[in-house]
Structure 1
Amino acid sequence: MAPPFHRQTGCLQASEIGSRTLGDWLPSNKTAIQHWVNTKASEAKRCHNGTLEPVIQDFKQAIESDPVLSRYADQMFVEVPNKYKAPYNETPVGNPELRNFSDFLILLDHIIHEGPGWFDKRSPPTANDLIGFPITAALDWPLGTIAGHEFFLSPVVSHHIGRVLDFWALYLGTPPSASVLAGWLSPEGKDQIAAAGNLGGKTNYTFEQLFCCPNTSAPYLGYKTWDQYFVREFNPGIRPIAAPDNQTFDPEYHVDPTLIIDNACESAPLQQPYSLTNMLNFHPLANTFVGGTVYQAYLSTLSYHRWHAPVSGRIVHIENVPGTYYSGNLFTGLAETSYTGQAPDDSAPNYSQPYISAVATRGIVYIQARNPAIGLMAIVFVGMGEVSSCEFTVDVGQEVNKGDQLGMFHFGGSTHVMVFQPGVELDFVKPIPHGDVASGSFLSETNFAVRSALAVVRT
């Protein structure tokens, strides 16, 4: 008997989003973030020798030379404690450690000279759950203020933040960055990553059985850099292609396999509203998707970070959009209380997912599916927080088969959006969340496996 389908057409939407930290890039416990940032900020001040990395010094000078940006830079920190009642009068760093832009730059300079660490929460007080977004942790509430909104929308700020992240990306590709892998590849670290890879207990593989390890007898399993570890691949056979197109009839779903759309990323779905034209960067093809279907899913800290083709077809267009960094929706950060009286987003990037998909750094690819029932589709790979880059490994005009690699995220949070044209009606193989958004049930707790069957096109 064919598996049940979950019928869904049109855009997936939600009027609001629950207070969740998507993908566990930051702890849901705000005390954990406070302790971590306080510890790192104190450490940065102790280590600071009075000089900043040139890219950060350039950033500092650019802000100080602009009276408006300089005012926003300091105001986004003081707005938090001065304008709101407890518990919103304390930033995620607690009370004293980051109270101005200069303190933040010292911490930023410290962060970009090390890899993201793994913190064993069994060893208090400095072990504070997983901090996948160290820079976002420092800006957790300031970037949701009115001043923070204006500051991070500035092209000047985006330019300099991009240069800082480019510097960090280069560092994460060097051998010294591998020193933090002692924690990520500790027994606890490997167990947690393997648990995510086993999709909630559906399999029981070890880390080494799940992932390609360059040399299991070498330090850090042979991973030479943080980035090499982050973009690790699954071992052959771990993520088989569901319904490959080279078979004439799919025995599981009882349809033409070319009508089956596979999952592009190892990710969990969520429900959100979108601005298609903004998200697709006002490309002429964007209008052809108005009234179609949008599917979004987010990648967790422990996920696999490469992308794969959901259908077979030809690469029509590829675009890398610089976008903004750390920009949150004005109505979903602390500024929300000024307009609606609702509680603020205690981790501003969470509520801003639809907004981020339209303004953040992102890579966009259009694929003309071989099966005309699917036609032209687009996939948007969105960088969140301190994502280093969205790298495509395919070229325009190239033919791809379902399951082929398309590219990857290099460090940082990420989400992806698949867009189908109107008339393409999808029956989802797995249920899409439709629950109580206030409680966070708008998202799935378990990843959908990359290259697994996601939906079937109704004919």
Structure 2
Amino acid sequence: MSCSKPYRVGQWLPSDKKVLDKWLANLIKDVEVKSKDKLELLMSGHPPAEDEAKAMGELRSTATLSVTNLHLHKPVEDLMNAILTDPEINMFFHQMFWQQYSLPNTSGVKIPSWQLMIVIIDHIMTTAPEYNKTGLVGFPINVILNWPMATTAGFAAFLNDKVNRLFKNILNYWGIFLSSPDSCYVLSKDPRNGWFGEDAMLAMPNFEKEFKCNPKAEHYGFKSWDDFFTREYRPRIRLVESPDDDYIVANACESAPFKIATGVKQRDFFWIKKQRYSLDFMLNMDGLAKQFYGGTVYQAFLSATSYHRWHSPVSGTIYKTELVDGSYYSQTHNIQDDPAAPNESQGYLAQVAARGIIYIQADNPDIGMMCFVSIGMSEVSSNEITVRENDKVKKGDQLGMFHFGGSTHCLIFRPEVKIEFDTRGQTPGLHDLHNIPVKAKIATVFPARK
């Protein structure tokens, strides 16, 4: 199987570790001031964080801790109660915050305790990501958990079903805020952090001409942060390339190439540093995966300023769809020097993250059954499929969308398909790659020899 080095996340998180550290330090300082009473109450009955690593088995009982006075958002309170009352989750969260100090290359700002984590996550529930050309854009909770998730305990915790259900509820709750008018405060012309400010418009040139919006209306006519992020192109923008040629495969997302792999196996060691694809796990152990054993996977990544809807790469019939609840904060365990975990775990996440799976029976028999997989990363984990089984789709028709941002996606082809990808001269895996337009040609399929 051919593999390439991972492509660094585009604009979701800064590549400069100093920027992450500064952002997190400011967030901690802000929360410690605004939520001082909550922190003091939550820390009561616990030894200081710096003493915990020295007293692994000597924690005082927290059974009598009152949580009714914290006034946390309900799903965050549920996570706190699980940490306090579930022995497995309690162990995970204590150990991951201890173990983060034993990781290699541990210089930088860290959240010192799970208690502070709880209060910070609670704070984030009523904030929307601001635009910043050098700083954090879309993954605030990921930065909070960045070091703990890289530990042995973190690796176990964020593959745990109970933990993932708790974080799913938190993210869904945050999603309600991001879908409300209250989240529009970041859709401003503030020159530093507004999504319609000067810096943001430089990152999204021709925004008014390309996207459906009303520049004269408040917030450009968008009703919420999510409304802005699921925005649509205007008519005749991003037309389908070669719409009537079934041997031309269209790009399903506005995205940059991450990896092309051939001869992909039924099962492989997807968690190792090279992050090989494992088809059974990618496709959630569906019997249809057998058709793709030994086939080809193309993976590409969406940036924070990208268009976030998915479109059919081929003309055909929707054969089956599936939404998979996966992990939300799991990263490849042996990559512990990644300043923002999703950067170098994208291949791994194709097997374990929340995802949408759409099987398409292509009209072209030389393609046959193929598969589109949307993969949510961290906060960006809401996949909405907008087609149903037996729907007829033309190349370029909408299949669904990511909410609250964008992520990564895969196209999977059977081993019989002779396909050649066109990455516009780019080498998948390198940094500073540019997006290939959605609906543009991404590959050519060649007729099978008779």
Q: TM-score range by the shorter chain?
A: 0.7 to 0.9
- Cα pair 2:253 2:310 within 8 Å, conserved: yes
CA drift at 1:430: 3.0
Tell me what 1:64 maps to.
84
- Cα pair 1:133 1:413 within 8 Å, conserved: no
SS in 2 for 1:24: coil
**1:13 equivalent in alignment to 2:19:** no
Tell me what 1:110 maps to.
123
CA drift at 1:433: 5.2
Match among 440, 446, 450 for residue 434 of structure 2: 446
- Cα pair 1:241 1:451 within 8 Å, conserved: yes
CA drift at 1:27: 0.3
Tell me what 1:100 maps to.
113
TM-score normalized by structure 1? Answer: 0.82
The alignment covers a number of residue pairs equal to: 394
Match among 261, 276, 284 for residue 281 of structure 1: 284
Q: 1:57 to 1:398 in 2, by over 3 A?
A: same
Tell me what 2:364 maps to.
371
Tell me what 1:77 maps to.
97
Tell me what 2:233 maps to.
234
- Cα pair 1:133 1:412 within 8 Å, conserved: no
Deviations 1:290-316 (A, max 9, x none): 111110001011111000011110000
- Cα pair 1:363 1:390 within 8 Å, conserved: yes
In structure 1, what is the Cα distance between the partners aligned to 2:240 and 2:154?
A: 44
In structure 2, what is the Cα distance between the partners aligned to 1:419 and 1:106?
A: 41
Percent same amino acid at aligned positions? 41
AA of the residue aligned to 1:389:
S
In structure 1, what is the Cα distance between the partners aligned to 2:323 and 2:385?
A: 9
SS in 1 for 2:185: helix
Q: 1:360 to 1:285 in 2, by over 3 A?
A: same
Tell me what 1:302 maps to.
305
Match among 151, 154, 160 for residue 148 of structure 1: 154
Match among 24, 28, 32 for residue 15 of structure 2: 28
Instruction: Give ranges in structure 1 of 5+ residues lacking alignment.
Output: 1-10, 122-128, 195-205, 246-256, 335-343
Pairing 1:38-437 to 2, within 5 Å after superposition: 38-48=25-35, 50=38, 51=70, 52-81=72-101, 83-84=102-103, 88-91=105-108, 94=109, 98-119=111-132, 121=134, 129-182=135-188, 183-194=194-205, 206-213=206-213, 215-245=214-244, 257-271=245-259, 273-332=276-335, 334=336, 344-431=337-424, 434=427
Comparing both chains, which one has the higher relative contact order based on Cα–Cα distances under 8 Å and sequence gaps of 6 or more? 1
Deviations 1:180-213 (A, max 9, x none): 112111121122122xxxxxxxxxxx21011110
Q: CA RMSD in A?
A: 1.8
Instruction: Give ranges in structure 2 of 5+ residues lacking alignment.
Output: 39-69, 189-193, 262-275
CA drift at 1:216: 1.8
AA of the residue aligned to 1:225:
S
In structure 2, what is the Cα distance between the partners aligned to 1:163 and 1:12?
A: 38
Tell me what 2:57 maps to.
none
SS in 1 for 2:246: helix
In structure 2, what is the Cα distance between the partners aligned to 1:120 and 1:159?
A: 33
In structure 2, what is the Cα distance between the partners aligned to 1:62 and 1:409?
A: 29
Deviations 1:19-52 (A, max 9, x none): x631221101111111111111222232225321
SS in 1 for 2:138: coil
Tell me what 1:337 maps to.
none
CA drift at 1:162: 0.2
SS in 2 for 1:176: helix
